[in-house]
């Protein structure tokens, strides 16, 4: 199966690889995994006082499509509010990266990861 140029670009030059301090109050961490392919994805967001995502980092073990999906979504969420980040759909990622049907689940993983990161951040800031 051939990867699209965009997948190869993100795979060879992944953006925003790394991690933030988990205990930092301004950081939300999302961890998800795909049982069928064994992929594991950690996605972190750093949120400003005004509720805007200033920075994002990821660490993914998985296929090229999973790495590209997480790399792309970390680029997309920067500058977005939490609500805007929550509105990102896996279909947008799949379309941007031209993922074939068998790799759609990689984009779902990235969507679930950002949702989990936002949920973690919100949980830290409730009451």
Residues forming contacts to other proteins in the complex (CB under 8 A) are 31-38, 40, 42, 59, 61, 105, 108-109, 112-113, 116
- Closer residue to other proteins in complex, CB, 55/112: 112
Does the annotation count 63 as an active-site position? no
- Spatial neighbors of 98 by CB under 8 A, at least 6 apart, are 4, 6, 7
Catalytic residue from among 72, 93, 106, 113: 106
- Closer residue to other proteins in complex, CB, 17/108: 108
Name the DSSP letter for residue 62: S
**Min CB(106)–other proteins separation in Å:** 11
- Closer residue to other proteins in complex, CB, 3/60: 60
3-state secondary structure (DSSP) of residue 97: helix
Instruction: Copy the structure tokens of residue 59.
Output: 């660490």
Catalytic residue from among 8, 31, 34, 37: 37
Neighbours of 66 (CB within 10 A): 26
Handedness of CA 105, 107, 111, 117 (dihedral sign): positive
- Known catalytic residues? 37, 106
């Amino acid at each position: 199966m051939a990867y699209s140029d965009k997948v190869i670009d993100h795979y060879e030059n992944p953006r925003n690889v790394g991690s933030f301090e988990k205990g930092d109050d301004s950081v939300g961490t999302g961890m998800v995994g795909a049982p069928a392919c064994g992929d594991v994805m950690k996605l972190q967001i750093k949120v400003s006082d005004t509720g805007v995502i200033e920075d994002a980092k990821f660490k993914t073990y998985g296929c090229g499509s999973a790495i590209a999906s997480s790399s792309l979504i970390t680029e997309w969420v920067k500058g977005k509010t939490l609500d805007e980040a929550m509105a990102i759909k896996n279909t947008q990622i799949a379309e941007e990266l031209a993922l074939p049907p068998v790799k759609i689940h990689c984009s779902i993983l990235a969507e679930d990861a950002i949702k989990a990161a936002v949920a973690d951040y919100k949980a830290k800031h409730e009451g």
